[in-house]
Amino acid sequence: MKYVVLVLVFFCKCGLADAFCSLRDPVSQINTLFPSHERHLSLVKKIDNQTRQIVQRKLPNNELHFGELGQHTLYVVSENSKVVGYVHVRSEQSHWGLVEIVWAIDIEYKIIDFVFQRCRSPEKDKLINSNFKSAIVGKSFEQLKLYLDKDGRNGNQQLYDQINIRTDLVNVVLRCALKTLLLTEVVWQAELNSLYE
Amino acid sequence: MLFKHWLVALFLFMFAPPVLADFSDNLRFAIDSSFRLNINDITSVTSRNYFLGMDTHKVFNDGNRDIGYAVAQLYYTKLSDQTPYPFMFSNKNDEQLIIREAHYNILTSRKSLLPNIRLGHFTLPFGLEDSQDTNGRLLDYGHGKNLGTKLDWGILANKVHTNVEYKVSYSLGGKDDPKSKEGSSVFTARVSTLSHLDFGIGLSLYKAKLDQKNRKRVAFDLKYYLYNWGLKSEIAYGKVDDNSGLYWLFELNRRTVNEQWKVYCHYIFDDQHQQKQSEQTFIAGARYTPNNNLDVSVQLNHQLQHPANKKELRLMQMQLRHRF
């Protein structure tokens, strides 16, 4: 019996307070972000305390919410038998609870696009209708980091000079984009590289 | 009987898909334990439930795309002084190995018009429960009471389209047993707007022969989230044999900014015309999740009105749940 328990503990990789039957793939969001894609491939990886320390080192003053730890999925999206990008859902704490954003990333780890999966901020529509998206599309982690203020959490003047909106939701989405690009490289890069070998 | 369940679950989980990758790839596994205390204020009886089980989820692929996923949940469940007790137990202190969800899902390609197919033991796709899973929680949308069973063995077709999603299922009506009993069968369907949106509506249909009774039910549900508040409602009309009835559930909930606390209250009106009896129930609950592992919940269930031929119910429940 003790060996059975040991095997069970070895496989334990829990990262969800709710039962796993509540998991849903972001199917409609992937369709929106990659309208002509043919298929996607899930890669499930664990985001643990070691990853949390890397985030704290590379993005000082940024914490991972407990819901961001545990096992998460990166979707590898293909079109004409060729990988065209990755999709990852990441959440970020805001004044209106967790904001969940579905990110589309290209194979060079740059932002292609994003859609809100869940956002209860009253500023959501204003942000969608602003030119904020064009300021972050095509940017890598290092390029986006140049938009961070000294506090490491808010957008700086360089960003706000480019966009026609000034709201805290901009800072939330910026932090989420940075974490997404960082985590995608740190957690999934080795496995993604093996797809191209 | 249990041995047969084990075999079916094992078959669905291990051998149905063409497994090419390492089995632990894309595997989620958790040991889920919980203790529930039920204090009945009317009868002054305090009962306890103990659950210890494994919860698994695995995505299968052929190296290029996801071809399916499996969910398997097996729980040792022990009752202590539980009255009335659920149908799968034989007395108020019984213990059983219970299969909750256990199904394999065949994913069709994105451009195919064919639906995805689910085979196994699944929650019937009906009403609010379909958009929010309450598995293992005190929160409940009355599936077992309203449909005769929460889960059943069968086949389910589903697909998520650009603006709508649907699920249609046919199941055997054996509840925890993968076979039809005395001609039982259950047809359930739900079509809804996309489940992740802040505003959503759904229409559900249900027709069954279950426990030698003919059941029909149609329901309309909606949910709306604004800031940290959520509002949900389900209105249903149904018949059990010749007894028709109207049902209405209203929920108001609120989460804290960091999502560690969630509080909710339900008002439920359940009227059965032919029997000239109606129930009105008020439920208030709270859930505290300080991390991914721990979940503390409390729920108060107070009947405002109850049928003359039934005992009044005033119940306080507390649950401590740990997943690792």
pLDDT reported for residue A14: 53
Section B155-168 average pLDDT: 94
**For B255, nearest residue in chain A (alpha carbons):** A97
Section B154-174 average pLDDT: 95
Q: Do A21 and B123 touch (CB under 8 A)?
A: yes
pLDDT reported for residue B12: 54
Q: Do B26 and A43 touch (CB under 8 A)?
A: yes
A45 touches chain B (CB under 8 A): no
Section B307-323 average pLDDT: 90
Distance of CA A143 to the CA centre of its chain: 16
| Higher pLDDT among residues B219 and B145, named by residue | B219
Task: Name residue, tokens 């052929």.
Answer: B62
Q: Tell me how close the Cα of A179 comes to any Cα of chain B, in angstroms.
A: 18
Q: CA B240 to CA A130: how far, in whole Å?
A: 54
Q: CA B192 to CA B164: how far, in whole Å?
A: 6
pLDDT reported for residue B9: 54
Global pTM reads 0.90
**Shortest CB distance from B56 goes to which of A20, A70, A81?**
A20
For residue A18, give both structure tokens: 């709710």
Q: CA B252 to CA B234: how far, in whole Å?
A: 12
For residue A47, give both structure tokens: 């985001």
**Shortest CB distance from A12 goes to which of B30, B257, B291?**
B30
Q: Is A121 exposed, middle or buried (0-12, 13-18, 19+ CB in 10 A)?
A: buried
**For A117, nearest residue in chain B (alpha carbons):** B196
Strands B199-210 and B261-272: unpaired
pLDDT reported for residue B104: 97
Task: Name residue, tokens 């209250």.
Answer: B265
Residue of B57, B71, B116 to mutate when probing chain A, most A C-beta within 10 A: B57
Q: CA B223 to CA B203: how far, in whole Å?
A: 12
Percent of the residues in chain B that have a pLDDT greater than 70, as a whole number? 93
Q: Do A21 and B324 touch (CB under 8 A)?
A: no
Q: Do B110 and A38 touch (CB under 8 A)?
A: yes
Confidence of residue B3 (pLDDT cuts 50, 70, 90): very low
pLDDT in tens, B278-287: 899 999 999 9
pLDDT reported for residue B6: 52
Residue of B105, B292, B320 to mutate when probing chain A, most A C-beta within 10 A: B292
Q: Which domain range does residue B313 map to?
A: 2-323
Beta-carbon neighbour count of residue A96 at 10 Å?
23
What's the DSSP call for residue B91? S
A160 touches chain B (CB under 8 A): no
**In contact, B73 and B55? CB cutoff 8 Å:** yes
A95 touches chain B (CB under 8 A): yes
Q: Do A97 and B228 touch (CB under 8 A)?
A: yes
**For B70, nearest residue in chain A (alpha carbons):** A21
A53 touches chain B (CB under 8 A): no
pLDDT of B13 > 50? The answer is yes
pLDDT reported for residue A2: 46
Q: What is the total residue count of chain B?
A: 324
pLDDT reported for residue A1: 45
pLDDT reported for residue A22: 86
Residue of B109, B122, B160, B260 to mutate when probing chain A, most A C-beta within 10 A: B160
**For A68, nearest residue in chain B (alpha carbons):** B292
pLDDT reported for residue B159: 94
| Higher pLDDT among residues B167 and B83, named by residue | B167
Q: Do B323 and A70 touch (CB under 8 A)?
A: no
Q: Tell me how close the Cα of B108 comes to any Cα of chain A, in angstroms.
A: 10
Mean pLDDT for chain B? 91
pLDDT reported for residue A10: 46
Min mean pLDDT across A13-22, A49-58, B8-17, B228-237 is at B8-17
Instruction: Give A64's contacts in chain B (Cβ within 8 Å).
Output: none
Section B202-222 average pLDDT: 97
A128 touches chain B (CB under 8 A): no
Q: Classify residue B175 as left (phi > 0), alpha (psi -120 to 50) or beta.
A: left
- Spell out where chain B has E strands: 27-40, 45-61, 66-80, 95-106, 116-123, 151-160, 164-171, 185-193, 199-210, 213-226, 229-240, 243-255, 261-272, 277-288, 294-305, 314-323
A8 touches chain B (CB under 8 A): yes
Confidence of residue B5 (pLDDT cuts 50, 70, 90): low
Instruction: Give A43's contacts in chain B (Cβ within 8 Å).
Output: 26
Confidence of residue B54 (pLDDT cuts 50, 70, 90): very high
pLDDT of B7 > 70? The answer is no
Instruction: Give B293's contacts in chain A (Cβ within 8 Å).
Output: 14, 17
Which residues are CB-contacts of B137 (< 8 A; sequence separation ≥ 6)? A18, B287, B295, B297, B319, B321
For residue B189, give both structure tokens: 């369907």
Q: CA B324 to CA B317: how far, in whole Å?
A: 23
A58 touches chain B (CB under 8 A): no
A18 touches chain B (CB under 8 A): yes
**Shortest CB distance from A14 goes to which of B100, B137, B323?**
B323
pLDDT in tens, A102-150: 999 999 999 999 999 999 999 999 999 999 999 999 999 999 999 999 9
**Shortest CB distance from B110 goes to which of A32, A37, A44?**
A37
Instruction: Give B56's contacts in chain A (Cβ within 8 Å).
Output: 20
Report which of B126, B99, B87 is spatially closest to residue B10, judged by C-alpha positions.
Answer: B99
For the domain that residue B160 is a member of, what is the CATH number? 2.40.160.10
Q: Quick one: angle between helices A49-58 and A168-183, nearest 10? A: 120
The residues of chain A scoring below 70 in pLDDT are 1-16
Q: Classify residue A28 as left (phi > 0), alpha (psi -120 to 50) or beta.
A: alpha
Q: Is B144 exposed, middle or buried (0-12, 13-18, 19+ CB in 10 A)?
A: middle
A189 touches chain B (CB under 8 A): no
Instruction: Give A25's contacts in chain B (Cβ within 8 Å).
Output: 66
**Residue B10 main-chain phi, psi, to 5 deg:** -65, -40
* Total count of domains within chain B: 1
Q: Do A93 and B257 touch (CB under 8 A)?
A: yes
**In contact, B286 and B255? CB cutoff 8 Å:** no
